[in-house]
Amino acid sequence: EFRRVRFRSVGYTRVDKNDAYNAGVGHGFLSGGLHHRNRRVGNNLQRDFVFASGTMSFGVDVPDASYDVTVIMGDGRYTHEQIQLSIEDDVQVVVSQSGPADFFTNTFAVSSSGGQMVFDWLDLGGPAPVVLINSIEIVQSGSPENLTFTIDQAAISENGGASAATVTRSGSTVR
């Protein structure tokens, strides 16, 4: 959640214009002459945003995996057009607000490798050369666990008879 005020939404990490990438923290802005605004319009994830003129980049350290990435982009007072969002060098969307307080919200399926997921914004034209972000939510997707069981030398009988088997497990637990 990209904020400049003291309150924050439960479960979200506050990020502001001064948060340059820091490996110890695991996230931050990689580029952009950054500013922030609180329009006091919308919910806690919509009213604040970080913005830049023309371009900006943000990185988050994540394990190599597939993710569901939800973004919120918009301004409660002004309309912004032609903001291109790329995640991991893939163009995901070009956002144009239909009017003030028209907040774009969408979830994208993203595969990340190299230990860091990178977000890039680029202004493609319009009256104000501004790019912005209100909120990013990153959730690992996919099946929770893949396991393989092998049963060797099984002797299984019914009606109260004895059963014996050797079970070998391979796979890993994802938390």
**pLDDT tens digits along 26-71:** 999 999 799 998 888 778 788 889 999 999 999 999 999 999 999 9
**pLDDT tens digits along 131-174:** 999 999 999 997 555 444 444 444 444 455 555 544 444 444 33
Report the phi/psi class of residue 4: left, alpha or beta, with left for phi > 0 and alpha for psi in -120 to 50.
alpha
